[in-house]
Amino acid sequence: MLTLNFLLVHSIDTKEVRMRPVTEAHDYQVKLKSASKFLSKGNRVKLSMSFNGRELRFKDQGKELMLKFIEDLGPAARVDGPLNFKTSIYTVMLAPAK
């Protein structure tokens, strides 16, 4: 007999929050609020920051902004892997804290 246990399993989706190094304060707060909403629903969040052209000279400032974003999420998130930089995009995976 077929059991229906697969219906009871909660699937975990991965949502992405994209940023740029020139993200303004209000946009930053909106992205922070949406990321915390995703995490509170039990979804993972992929935080990515892309750089275009001359912005690559300011990778360090972009990295600091991403670390500040993670810090501002506070106890709602835990980092689920290292901060990666590949071809002008920083990425990091965040998971909901249990």
Q: What is the per-residue pLDDT across 19-73, written as a single tens digit (0 to 9) for each?
A: 999 999 999 999 999 999 999 999 999 999 999 999 999 899 999 999 999 999 9
Contacts of 5 (CB under 8 A, 6+ apart): none
Contact 38, 69 (CB under 8 A): no
Q: Is residue 1 predicted with pLDDT exceeding 80?
A: no
Token output for 55: 């912005």
pTM, two decimal places:
0.83
Residues 5-24 pLDDT 10s:
555 556 778 999 999 999 99
Q: Can you tell me which residue has the tokens 């246990």? A: 5
According to DSSP, the residues that pair with 95 across neighbouring strands are: 78
CATH second-level architecture of 14-96?
A: 2-Layer Sandwich (3.30)
Tokens 């940023």: give the residue.
Answer: 19
Q: Please state the domain extents for the chain.
A: 14-96
How many angstroms separate the CA atoms of 21 and 58, rounded? 8
Q: Is the pLDDT of residue 76 over 90?
A: no
Contact present, 93 and 46 (Cβ < 8 Å): yes
Which of 37, 42, 34, 47 minimizes the C-alpha distance to 96? 42
